[in-house]
């Protein structure tokens, strides 16, 4: 029979949404919970999953059109007995309001969420040129809010203020981070591993490298290798979100965050998935050294598909790194600390390492992200069982 999937209330008080992108077409066979359409509301951009499995019979509305909550969006033939032809979709609600509305209030095409961002930033939408479909203004078109000028008089007699002079590099980093936070719905999941086996394996490997002239294997290199393996199982993390489209890659072009006196720089290890652990460690060591001594060429800082960052010897258990846009994921690993853990003989201090995964919520949901982090945890916590991956 024909199952009508209606636009649900995807947020408190949501009354309508704008169709951003169809993820299926008429005639497609869809599985239960498969994403059907991307919709933008005044709350966020969401993917709506299929409530039943079957064949897509009809998709209602085109990108850029607004749809009222309760409007049938997709008709799906679920194979059950009954009418297999969807009824003609009425263009009017019982109250006489159109179901599909052009999103062009005041002569400006912009979704409610985008309009709210513009209002908060104090930006007049009529002054902007949209880069979205059919000239639609999207969040990326809205400039950052202007900085509030400092008062000319000091509130306290003993207070002294001076402007912070930022280098051009620091200004570019700041602009990049602001753009990432404003345009990517970022969520972080965190887990911890017992690093006993990881420490033992690293010690053994570095002993075997003594006298061979190769760089010592760091925990960051081991984590980087594990990330290359993880994205084979969770390929949606190895990609770039550009111009409202997700591009996935078979090759892992691994960004490695390096702290320098100029700020955080992310050089790229190209084709990282092809490198043995010792080769990967050498690449990371060389790139980090080049970054700190300002020897990086432009091609070594472009094209990354996922980034890994280490906490080094800094304090704190873990952090929530900002995604290196246009990537969709960043993995963080942090210093090993000792925490009491229960054993069969009582409690004893064990070496613990925290891991984090910050991901683009447009690309995956929390359950999928947690599974990918759990997979990474297994690779790091049981390295001897996975030696075939490490070389």
CB half-sphere exposure, 236, CA atoms < 13 A: 13
Q: Using CA atoms, how far apart are residues 306 and 227, in angstroms rounded to an integer?
A: 9
pLDDT reading at 203 higher than 90: yes
Question: What CATH superfamily classification does 107-145 receive?
Answer: E3-binding domain (4.10.320.10)
Bond from prior residue into 93 cis (ω within 30 degrees of 0): no
In the 3-class helix/strand/coil scheme, how is 363-377 assigned residue by residue?
Answer: CCCHHHHHHHHHHHH
Chain centroid to Cα 160, Å, comes to 40
Which of 333, 365, 363, 318 shows the shortest CA–CA distance to 225?
Answer: 333
Domain boundaries defined on the chain: 2-102, 107-145, 171-390
pLDDT of 113 reads 63
Confidence of residue 91 (pLDDT cuts 50, 70, 90): very low
* Rounded Cα distance, 223 and 104, in Å: 48
| Domain 2-102, architecture per CATH | Beta Barrel (2.40)
Task: Report the greatest alpha carbon distance in the chain.
Answer: 82
Residues 6+ apart with CB under 8 A from 165: none
The CATH code of the domain at 171-390 is 3.30.559.10
Distance CA 226, CA 199 (A): 15
Exposed, middle or buried: residue 41 (CB in 10 Å: 0-12, 13-18, 19+)?
A: buried
- Average pLDDT of span 159-188: 76
pLDDT on residue 167: 54
DSSP 3-state percent helix, strand, coil across the chain (nearest 5): 30, 30, 40
Q: Comparing 315 with 331, which gets the higher pLDDT?
A: 331
Residue range 355-368: mean pLDDT, rounded: 95
313-321: average pLDDT: 77
pLDDT at 233 over 70: yes
> What is the SS3 assignment for 113?
helix
Please determine, for residue 286, whether its predicted confidence score (pLDDT) is greater than 60: yes
Q: Which two tokens stand for residue 46?
A: 């969401």
pLDDT exceeds 50 at position 308: yes
Of 100-114, 124-138, 246-260, 356-370, the poorest mean pLDDT is in: 100-114
Q: What is the pLDDT of residue 16?
A: 78
List the one residue out of 64, 332, 50 whose CA is nearest residue 186.
332
CA 356/CA 361 separation, integer angstroms: 15
Mean pLDDT to the nearest integer, 309-325: 81
Residues annotated catalytic, as ranges: 361, 365
pLDDT single digits (tens) 31-63: 988 989 988 765 456 778 889 999 999 998 888
| pLDDT exceeds 80 at position 244 | yes
- Report the predicted TM-score, pTM, of the whole model to 2 decimal places: 0.59
Least confident of 107-121, 215-229, 294-308: 107-121
Helices 277-292, 219-233: axis angle to 10 degrees equals: 120
Distance of CA 277 to the CA centre of its chain: 26
Band of pLDDT at residue 92, cut at 50, 70 and 90: very low
Q: What is the pLDDT of residue 93?
A: 40
* pLDDT, averaged across the chain: 82
Residue predicted with more confidence, 126 or 353: 353
Angstrom distance (rounded) from CA 46 to CA 274: 35
Q: Name the least confident of 7-16, 75-84, 206-215.
A: 7-16
Residue 24's pLDDT band (cuts 50, 70, 90): very high
What is the C-alpha separation between 307 and 145, in angstroms, rounded?
28
Please give the Cα distance from 245 to 267 (Å, whole number). 24
Q: Omega before 326 cis (within 30°)?
A: yes
d(CA 113, CA 108): 14
């Amino acid at each position: 029979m024909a199952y009508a999937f209606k636009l649900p209330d995807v947020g408190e008080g949501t009354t309508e949404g704008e169709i951003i992108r169809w993820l299926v077409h008429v005639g497609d066979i869809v599985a239960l919970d498969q994403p059907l359409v991307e919709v933008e509301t005044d709350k966020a951009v969401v993917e709506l999953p299929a409530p039943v499995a079957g064949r897509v019979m009809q998709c209602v509305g085109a990108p850029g059109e607004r749809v009222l909550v309760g409007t049938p969006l997709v008709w799906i033939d679920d194979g059950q007995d009954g009418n297999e032809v969807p009824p003609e979709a009425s263009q009017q609600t019982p109250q006489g309001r159109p179901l599909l509305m052009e999103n062009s209030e005041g002569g400006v095409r912009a979704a409610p969420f985008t309009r709210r961002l513009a209002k908060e930033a104090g930006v007049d939408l009529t002054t902007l040129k949209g880069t979205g479909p059919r000239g639609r203004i999207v969040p990326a078109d809205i400039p950052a809010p202007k900085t509030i000028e400092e008062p000319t008089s000091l509130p306290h007699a003993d207070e002294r203020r001076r402007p912070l002079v930022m280098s051009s590099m620091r200004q570019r980093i700041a602009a990049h981070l602001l753009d990432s936070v404003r345009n990517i719905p970022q969520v972080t999941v965190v887990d911890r591993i017992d690093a006993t086996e990881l420490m033992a394996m690293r010690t053994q490997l570095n002993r075997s490298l003594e006298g061979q002239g190769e760089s010592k294997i760091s925990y960051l290199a081991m984590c980087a290798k594990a990330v290359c393996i993880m994205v084979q199982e969770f390929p949606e993390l190895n990609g770039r979100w550009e111009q409202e489209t997700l591009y996935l890659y078979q090759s892992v072009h691994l960004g490695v965050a390096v702290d320098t006196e100029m700020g955080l720089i992310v050089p790229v290890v190209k084709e990282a998935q092809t490198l043995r652990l010792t080769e990967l460690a050498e690449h990371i060591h060389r790139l980090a050294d080049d970054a700190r001594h300002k020897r990086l060429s432009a091609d070594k800082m472009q094209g990354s598909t996922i980034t890994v960052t280490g906490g080094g010897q800094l304090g704190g258990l873990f952090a929530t790194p900002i995604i290196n846009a246009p990537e969709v994921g960043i993995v963080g690993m942090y210093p090993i600390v000792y925490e009491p853990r229960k054993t069969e003989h009582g409690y004893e201090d064990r070496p613990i390492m925290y891991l984090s995964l910050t991901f683009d919520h447009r690309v995956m949901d929390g359950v999928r992200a947690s599974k990918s982090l759990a997979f990474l945890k297994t690779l790091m916590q049981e390295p001897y069982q996975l030696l075939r991956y490490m070389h």
